[in-house]
Amino acid sequence: MANQLLEYFRRLEAWRRLPQSAVLDPARWRYDAHGRLICFSDYGRRDSEYGWELDHFPIPKALGGSDDMSNIRALHWRGNAAHGGLLGLGLAALSKDEKHHGLGGLFGLYPKS
């Protein structure tokens, strides 16, 4: 129960930080970082045109990004899926040693060691 409550408050905080529309109800509708319209009640719904998810940004979870709210944003599910797909392609191209040692500068986020 406590985890569900924490997750709900994380969603609220990510939602609060999004730009509002001048004409749409801000409690229900917002725009994500890519300008896509999302609906609060469609959180987690990939079957919705307005579905959204929590995205780890600027440091992806796969690169050691934290679950702290400073690294979380609300993003349309299509954008979040595309980011994950690109990250997966980049990770697949790295050697096992590069993945183990700070990911070898993947996407220029970390300097090669």
Helix (H) or strand (E) run with residue 7 in it: helix 2-16
The one-digit pLDDT tens for each residue of the chain (113 residues) are: 889 999 999 999 999 999 998 999 999 999 999 999 999 999 999 999 999 999 999 988 888 889 999 999 999 999 988 877 655 555 555 555 554 444 444 444 444 44
The dihedral sign for the CA sequence 80, 81, 87, 90: negative
Quick one: pLDDT at residue 108? 46
CA distance 12 to 31: 14
- The pLDDT of residue 86 is 59
**What pLDDT score does 63 carry?**
83
Question: Which CA distances in Å does 79 have to 22, 56, 75, 110, 113?
Answer: 23, 12, 6, 23, 30
